[in-house]
Amino acid sequence: MQIKVNNLEKKFGKQVALDKIDLVFENSSRTALVGPNGSGKSTLMRALMGTIHCQGDVYFNDLLLKRPPALDHTIAYIPQFAPQTRAPVQDLLDTVCCLRELNPDLVMACADELNFDLAANLEKEVGNLSGGMRQKLMISMAMAAPVDLLVMDEPTASLDSESRSAFMQMFDRVTAETTVILASHRSDELRSLVDNIVLLREGAVAYHGDARSFLARSTRTVIELRCDENGGHDWLRDMGFKQVHPQQWVGAFPSDNKEQILNTLGWKRKPSVHDIIVHDVEHVEFESSENCEKVCNV
């Protein structure tokens, strides 16, 4: 399914949530929406799902969106915050299965993969489930059958590590023909689940392109050096290292520069440098305007 967004704008009072956005999510593409909190990711997703009214147009396969597509059996949606409705789990399950033409047994099987005993919780109110259980319920209903469009807003935020691993295995079964739109801050999800990145800042598109290029420039490699206390280390400062202790120097570099920095250290290395420690920082930086400028100038 192809989605086109033309001149999409949304304001909450004086606050601009979406600032005349133009985007195209190609058929069968897998795209992540990223950006700092308040950048417009969830608002854009809600606009795509038809749950909020915006100025501008949204097209699904060149058809103008005129009703909430969340009711369409070809679309699945995992919200950032599962509803805290007082309706029993059974009622919500029946409603979603009816609208999406799902076999409840398939939902039960997905819940089992996430270590969630759905059958034992059918009589409970949805709002009385824990946050993790509600999220597992949303994931199970969304992932139970193939769809043309899968929209996920921070789907693993409330999951423990074991359930997150199960979700990743579940996602591996999503067909290549499915268009995927994911909002996430987790670099492991960005690396393994998507091919494209849309970076939002203050409701506007700051970057739209290849995920690998984006991640290479926005994740960081930290290099720590243990050196003699004697002077003569200006060459390290010229490379971008900072002295944090008489014997310790630290530098943080874009991950795609790691090989170049290490090669330079290799041929410049002096007897005064005793240890080199290298580790990658998995957190993707969205807050720094300087970083965004570097990314957008790719």
Q: What residue ranges define each of the domains in the chain, with the CATH number in brackets?
A: 3-216 (3.40.50.300), 220-281 (3.30.70)
Strand, coil or helix: what is 276? strand
- At residue 183, φ and ψ (nearest 5 deg) are -105, 125
8 Å CB contact between 1 and 60: yes
**Helices assigned H by DSSP within the chain:** 41-48, 89-100, 104-113, 131-143, 161-171, 187-193, 211-218, 234-239, 258-268, 289-296
Distance (Å, whole) CA 243 – CA 267: 21
Q: Across the strands, what pairs with 207?
A: 199
pLDDT at 231: 67
User: Shortest CA distance to 1 belongs to which of 45, 46, 51, 61?
Assistant: 61
Q: Across the strands, what pairs with 97?
A: none
- In Å, how far from its chain's centre is CA 102? 27
pLDDT at 178: 96
Distance (Å, whole) CA 259 – CA 92: 52
**Vertex 126, ends 185 and 54: CA angle to 5°?**
55
Residue type, 207: Y
- At residue 275, φ and ψ (nearest 5 deg) are -135, 145
* pTM for the whole structure: 0.78
Distance (Å, whole) CA 217 – CA 214: 5
**Six-digit token pair at 243?**
């002295």
Distance (Å, whole) CA 286 – CA 247: 32
Residue type, 176: A
- Residue 221's CB is within 10 A of a number of other CB atoms, namely 19
pLDDT tens, N- to C-terminus, the chain (298 residues): 999 999 999 999 999 999 999 999 999 999 999 998 889 999 999 998 888 889 999 998 888 876 555 556 888 999 888 888 899 999 999 999 988 889 999 999 999 999 999 999 999 999 999 999 999 999 999 999 999 999 999 999 889 999 999 999 999 999 999 999 999 888 888 889 999 999 999 999 999 999 988 887 777 889 999 888 776 788 898 999 999 988 899 998 887 788 888 888 887 767 778 889 998 775 565 554 344 434 333 3
**Six-digit token pair at 231?**
């002077």
pLDDT at 295: 38
8 Å CB contact between 275 and 218: no
